[in-house]
Amino acid sequence: MQLTPEIIQRYHEVMETLGPEELKRMLLDMHTIRAFEERAEQLYALGKVHGTMHLSIGQEATAVGASNAMEDGDYLLNHHRGHGHCMAWGSSAERMMAEFMGKETGYCRGRGGSMHIADVDSNNLGANGIVAGGVPIAVGVGLSIKMRRTSQVCLVIFGDGAANEGAFHESMNMASIWNLPIIYLCENNQYAMSMPYKKAFNIEKISERAAAYGIPGVTVDGNDVLAVYQAVSEAAACARRGEGPSLIESVTYRYKGHSKSDKQAYRTREEVRDWQENRDPITRFTTLLVMAGVITEAEGAAMRDQGVAIIDRAVEFSENSPAPNVADLLEGVYA
Amino acid sequence: MLEMTAPPSPTTTRELTYAEALRECLRQTMSADPRVFLIGEDIGVYGGAFGVSAGLLAEFGEERVIDTPISEAGIAGACIGAALTGMRPVGEIQFMDFVTLAMEQLVLQAAKVRFMFGGKASVPMVLRMPGGSGTGAAAQHSESLENWFVHVPGLKVVMPSNAYDAKGLLKAAIDDDNPVIFIEHKLLYKTKGHVPEALYSVPLGQTNVVRTGKHVTVVATSIMVSRALAAADELAKEGIELEVLDPRTLRPLDDAPIIESVKKTGRALVVHEAVEMGGFGGEIVARIAASEAFDYLEAPIKRLAGADIPIPYNRELEYHTVPQVENIVREARKLAKGEY
């Protein structure tokens, strides 16, 4: 059974802020993210992209729940498994796919690739190839917001692995002492590459670390899009009221390997299947919306096709896009 | 073309120390531009470990003179994030040695963000840090690591050698839309020089011909510039003329005046405090050797650099670890006399 009483309860709580159209768009976004990731994997297998990629299949609820809790003008910093965050933030599938395929029309003109997609115009300050690389940068974004006296909030998303980097400690502490408007969203997908979170931490919940910095910390079901939405909304409201940073641990699971070279010897097929069959974020949300009468089963099924169609167009756009010109190789290093 | 980039003719002969010149630049840029702020360890009430920011907290308040915990990666990250979102931060790393704790943020984030994003973001930040030996601070407080940064596309690297340049180069660094590593020298902080009161810029990427001469070109950085000038005074008594050049900015490097100078003198000596192997001198030597100046060389190009050891504590050992005036005199004399 994918639905739990908590999920149903949460639905009733968020109904006041999210209307049916928003709920439907969130589900479509989750489908589109999954379609993007599945197509990314296919394109890699077909030899149409080089390099590696980090797929977020199974983690769509965290990306969509978090982004929908933020407002226009807010900032995003995210991590290497970041396609979903970027898409949920509102980036165009065409330009994301073009970046993934290394095209001039991509967000980074083919210079960044999968791990560095950024859309500065929408205050998406970029994914990061370094674990916890964006976490200290959030401090500066928070300081800048404070000094510019705006009501913006910075959402920084990182994984469980990043929470064991020294930079995490420095950043959390600075954000706390200066009361900065930052949401630290730890996407705990259970493994830092092959290192199980249970072996890498001697605490039950990563959110417990918030206490060490004197800030609120909460752990939520990261495969329940509304739970993530609710927690991030509360943290954002808190930040906008001038009450400083929060740490949210979003417990989720990646279905695919860490990257393309992962043989996944560190976990069992049964474990993966258990998450897919019992806690899949898209199945859960679809079931919930059908049960609540927001969509029919047929509409739910059609959304998957809509997501695939968006990605079909994105691939077509990318394949028809020009490659970067080698004559421009040296551009863009200095302003 | 050789040009003297001397200070504009002074209306007064006002002198400031190198530290005072830096402070005056910070004060004036902060007064003029609300986006400029300072962030670092003990820069507030304490005034910075070397006193550069003394008094600025009282003048600008805690929001613009931000004392941090001992968190170098956090300081660098704070500068990057603020710079990406419209501010112009000036960070301070208390001793250059400690920048090792912030290398990821500087090398993998600050330097690369713009390029990785297809030229769509800029990181207008300055990170000041004192390098160099001579204070008895031993191996972990005396590093000269400039060439680590010179090796990174996306960063600019500045090393002022005197008070006038310190103020003008810092202004240019703050105005620059790129991350600038601004390396001061501990022994220079108390040295005095003419510094105009009005705010001025010394453009990044302009080598300064500090002294003209016809026998040996000496390319020196940071504190080695004043030592090279002292050596030139000594050798002038023997009729040997040194031409002393100060790149001021290591990246970007303005090598044209260096090449022109070597074409004139036919002899070149490169002097820096950092260890020789992998040091900046190698780049200068390579630029000379690969240029048209090669045909004008009358002697091998020589380097004079720090000994290949960590900086020792004992005063005499420390003294002998890095080039001193007498070392420059000796090397330049040998070059001039063909005794290499």
Whether residue B73 lies within 8 A of chain A, CB to CB, comes out as yes
State which H helix or E strand residue A71 sits in: none
Identify all chain B residues contacting A148, using CB atoms and an 8 Å cutoff. Answer: 85-87
CATH code for the domain in which residue A112 is found: 3.40.50.970
DSSP state of A219: E
In sequence order, the 6+-apart residues with CB closer than 8 A to the CB of B314 are: none
State which H helix or E strand residue B67 sits in: strand B65-67
Would residue A333 count as lying in a domain?
no
What average pLDDT does this structure show over A186-198? 96
| CA–CA dist B52, B194 (Å, integer) | 18
Q: CB–CB of A108 and B80 under 8 A?
A: no
Look-up: residue for tokens 């943290």? A235
Using pLDDT thresholds of 50, 70 and 90, give the confidence band for residue A14. Answer: confident
Nearest Cβ partner for A170 among B74, B153, B176: B74
| CA–CA dist B252, B150 (Å, integer) | 9
Q: Which domains does chain B have, with CATH numbers?
A: 16-194 (3.40.50.970), 208-337 (3.40.50.920)
CB A235 within 8 A of CB A20: no
Identify all chain A residues contacting B73, using CB atoms and an 8 Å cutoff. Answer: 136, 166-167, 170
CA neighbor of A139 nearest in space, from A169, A166, A187, A172: A172
Q: CB–CB of B177 and A331 under 8 A?
A: no
What is the three-class DSSP state of B100? helix
**Greatest C-alpha distance within chain A:** 59
Would residue A335 count as lying in a domain?
no
Total count of residues recorded for chain A: 335
Nearest Cβ partner for B84 among A141, A170, A331: A141
Q: CB–CB of B74 and A138 under 8 A?
A: no
Using pLDDT thresholds of 50, 70 and 90, give the confidence band for residue A219. Answer: very high
Residue span of the structural domain in which A289 resides: 5-320
Q: Are strands B216-220 and B208-211 parallel, antiparallel or unpaired?
A: unpaired
| CA–CA dist B285, B281 (Å, integer) | 6
Would residue A108 count as lying in a domain?
yes
Own/partner contacts of B253-257, CB < 8 Å, gap of 24 or more, are: B253/B205, B253/B207, B253/B283, B253/B287, B254/B205, B254/B206, B254/B207, B255/B207, B255/B284, B255/B287, B255/B291, B256/B1, B256/B207, B257/B1, B257/B2, B257/B3, B257/B207, B257/B209
CB B236 within 8 A of CB B229: no
pLDDT at position B308:
97
CA neighbor of A78 nearest in space, from A3, A119, A128: A128
Model pTM?
0.96
pLDDT at position B1:
41
For the beta carbon of residue B267, count every other beta carbon within 10 angstroms.
27
Residue type at position A326? V
What is the three-class DSSP state of B149? helix
Own/partner contacts of A269-272, CB < 8 Å, gap of 24 or more, are: none
What is the three-class DSSP state of B159? coil
| CA–CA dist A264, A55 (Å, integer) | 14
Residue type at position A163? A
| CA–CA dist B304, B221 (Å, integer) | 11
Would residue A19 count as lying in a domain?
yes
| Minimal C-alpha gap between A323 and chain B (Å) | 13
Whether residue A161 lies within 8 A of chain B, CB to CB, comes out as no
Q: Which residues of B are catalytic?
A: 72, 141
DSSP state of B109: I
Would residue A285 count as lying in a domain?
yes
Residue-by-residue pLDDT tens, chain B, 340 positions: 444 455 555 556 899 999 999 999 999 999 999 999 999 999 999 999 999 999 999 999 999 999 999 999 999 999 999 999 999 999 999 999 999 999 999 999 999 999 999 999 999 999 999 999 999 999 999 999 999 999 999 999 999 999 999 999 999 999 999 999 999 999 999 999 999 999 999 999 999 999 999 999 999 999 999 999 999 999 999 999 999 999 999 999 999 999 999 999 999 999 999 999 999 999 999 999 999 999 999 999 999 999 999 999 999 999 999 999 999 999 999 999 999 8
List pLDDT tens digits, range A126-140.
999 999 999 999 999
List pLDDT tens digits, range A29-72.
999 999 999 999 999 999 989 888 899 999 999 999 999 999 99
List pLDDT tens digits, range A81-118.
999 999 999 999 999 999 999 999 999 999 999 999 99
In sequence order, the 6+-apart residues with CB closer than 8 A to the CB of A211 are: A217
Strands (E), A175-231: 182-188, 191-192, 195-196, 217-221
pLDDT at position B7:
56
Q: What is the ipTM of this complex?
A: 0.95
Would residue A328 count as lying in a domain?
no
pLDDT at position B8:
55
- How many distinct structural domains can be found in chain A? 1
What average pLDDT does this structure show over A248-267? 93
pLDDT at position B5:
54
